[in-house]
Amino acid sequence: MSRALADKRTATRLRVLVEIADRQPAVSQGEIADAVGVTSQAVSEYIRDLVDDGFVEKEGRSRYRVTKEGVDWLFREVKAIRRFTDRVTEDVLQSVQEDAALATDRIEADETVTLSLREGLLHATPGDAGPATGVATTTAEAGEDVSVTGFEGVIEMSPGSVRVYQVPRARNGGSRAVDGDVLASAVAATDLVVAAGVEAVAALRRIEVEPAVSVAAGTVASEAATKGQDVVVVASVDEVGRVTDTLRDGDVTYELLDAIGE
């Protein structure tokens, strides 16, 4: 857990550092005091401590800049806070929320259902076989959407895999340089195919595959993988960095591969 959630001083320290990062290099301690809700004297003490710890460097009178060490500390704390809030949202608050699921058979309102995740979608089956169950609040036929509440237990799910295939720029051969057999084999054994960049779309179309999306590929791949789907991302060299940054931000592991033929 983030230390900012464990003690007030660390929480205030984090907020002061965020305000410095937002306002740098010209930093008004009075403005930070108003934003954080402490005195200017307290802000001055926090800044002094941050400078001593190497998180902030002083460039002159009222001029400060967050160091690489300070940025790294902020990232660690914010990611820890996000993990905590995700757990609260997904594991705690779900018990008082309603969600939609696909009915696998006819379901009556107020009936107990077993919940499972298939192809990235929540499914509800009549009965309490578990390990995750809920209570239907609407009636639905097989294949229809049903509203479910009263969640209990944990839905069994293994994270999906993500493979990212690079396609060179058009001036360097683009889709024509791609090994079609390698790409066809990759997309044939996956749940979802997405593309990032014109060259990537062209490479997939050369093997008669239309990507599910050609925008926000990294976000889509990250969401799908966290819901147990295996994903192939075909990305041009210019788009690979954006895709992998998004995957890392979502704590999704991936494999980076080359789609160029011999």
Last residue of a domain, one of 62, 91, 120: 91
- Domain-embedded: residue 16: yes
| Among 95-99, 178-182, 256-260, the least confident range | 95-99
pLDDT value of residue 114? 93
Same domain, 176 and 252: yes
Say if residue 239 is exposed, middle or buried (CB neighbours under 10 Å; 0-12, 13-18, 19+).
Answer: buried
Structural domain of residue 119, as residue ranges?
97-152
pLDDT value of residue 96? 52
Same domain, 144 and 59: no
State phi, psi for 215 to the nearest 5 degrees. -135, 150
Using CA atoms, how far apart are residues 25 and 57, in angstroms rounded to an integer?
Answer: 10
pLDDT value of residue 107? 95
Using CA atoms, how far apart are residues 81 and 77, in angstroms rounded to an integer?
Answer: 6
Last residue of a domain, one of 91, 110, 139: 91
- Domain-embedded: residue 157: no
- Domain-embedded: residue 182: yes
Last residue of a domain, one of 91, 107, 141: 91
Same domain, 39 and 84: yes
DSSP 132: S
Query: Taking CA 109 as the corner, what is the angle to CA 104 and CA 110, rounded to the nearest 5 degrees?
Result: 110
Rounded to the nearest integer, the mean pLDDT of the chain is 88
Of 19 and 2, more confident: 19
Same domain, 35 and 121: no
Same domain, 8 and 29: yes
Name the domain count of the chain. 3
pLDDT value of residue 174? 93
pLDDT value of residue 130? 78
Q: Which helix (H) or strand (E) holds 76?
A: helix 68-87
Same domain, 81 and 113: no
Give the predicted TM-score (pTM) of the model: 0.54
pLDDT level of residue 250 (50, 70, 90 thresholds): confident
Say if residue 57 is exposed, middle or buried (CB neighbours under 10 Å; 0-12, 13-18, 19+).
Answer: middle
CATH at residue 186 = 3.40.1010.10
pLDDT value of residue 259? 80
pLDDT at residue 121 greater than cutoff 60: yes
> How large a percentage of the chain has pLDDT more than 70?
92
Same domain, 14 and 84: yes
pLDDT level of residue 203 (50, 70, 90 thresholds): very high
Same domain, 218 and 243: yes
Same domain, 57 and 118: no
Using CA atoms, how far apart are residues 37 and 232, in angstroms rounded to an integer?
Answer: 47
Same domain, 122 and 54: no
| Among 116-120, 147-151, 175-179, 189-193, the least confident range | 116-120
pLDDT at residue 183 greater than cutoff 80: yes
Same domain, 109 and 179: no
Using CA atoms, how far apart are residues 114 and 147, in angstroms rounded to an integer?
Answer: 13
State phi, psi for 225 to the nearest 5 degrees. -65, -40
Q: Which helix (H) or strand (E) holds 35?
A: helix 29-36
CATH at residue 87 = 1.10.10.10
